Structure 1
Amino acid sequence: MGAAFQSCWRAPPGSAGSRITLRFGLSASGELKGPPRATFSALAGRAEDQRAFVAAALTAIARCTPLVMREDLARVVASRVLTVTFSAPVRGLDI
């Protein structure tokens, strides 16, 4: 499921080295149960770059929902809290 959210992720310019973990729930129909909450962040760059990075992570979640799931998986997911970490690797390093 993390791969599905990562496919919607686009790290903005100026965010190299930043990471954020978002916590959220999904309904059985794949919709957000409420707004995602940050549980961890390590933000690099200027304040406006940091804001753009956080906004891009929230946009990735919004872009990927509702998430299409098999019925058996949807029942399990609806009873769990999910976390996804988004990162912007430092250019030239494999992180």
Structure 2
Amino acid sequence: MKRFLVGLALSVLGITPAISQQAPVGPPVNTIREMGEALWSCWNPPPDTQNFQVTIRFSFKRNGEVLGKPRITYSTFNGDVEERKIIMSRILASLDACTPLNVTPELGGAIAGQIFTMTFTSPSTKA
């Protein structure tokens, strides 16, 4: 039921969470810390947006590609529908820009199928 609701929420906003699969992005990643740094390097919050927080959950294949579609597990917005579309599009674009990760075979074996979460916030809500 949750999957249906997340898909419904995205479709209402007119957003398709399609992560393209292309050549690995960036230098080789060999640790979870490097993985986080690589993923966050692509996040560029939309300017002039009201307070928001969005948590997504996703997994990787052993080659660094995103496995399936990212799922929204939490979201809160203070802006209008158009602002929500911008925020969600920016989040999905940042994940798309950084994947597939250029993971080493060792890290690829360790992360394959594991669930990862990222929480995106507006610049005004960061500490």
**Shorter-normalised TM range:** 0.7 to 0.9
Compare CA radii of gyration and give the structure with the larger one: 2
CA distance in 2, matches of 1:33, 1:81: 10
* Matched position secondary structure for 2:118: strand
TM-score in terms of structure 1 length:
0.86
Q: How well do the aligned residues superpose, as a CA RMSD in angstroms?
A: 1.5
Cα distance change, pair 45–16 in 1 and its aligned pair in 2 (3 A): same
Higher helix share: 2
The CA deviation at 1:2 is 2.3
CA distance in 2, matches of 1:46, 1:30: 35
* Matched position secondary structure for 1:35: strand
Runs of 4+ deviating beyond 6 Å: none
* Matched position secondary structure for 1:68: strand
Higher strand share: 2
CA distance in 1, matches of 2:95, 2:126: 24
Deviations 1:31-87 (A, max 9, x none): 111111100111121211111101111111111100011221111110301111111
Q: Which runs of 5+ in 1 are unaligned?
A: none
Q: Which runs of 5+ in 2 are unaligned?
A: 1-34
Partner of 1:70: 104
TM-score in terms of structure 2 length:
0.67
CA distance in 2, matches of 1:67, 1:38: 21
* Matched position secondary structure for 1:33: strand
Partner of 1:52: 86
Paired residues in the alignment total 93
Say whether residues 1:3 and 2:27 are aligned partners.
no
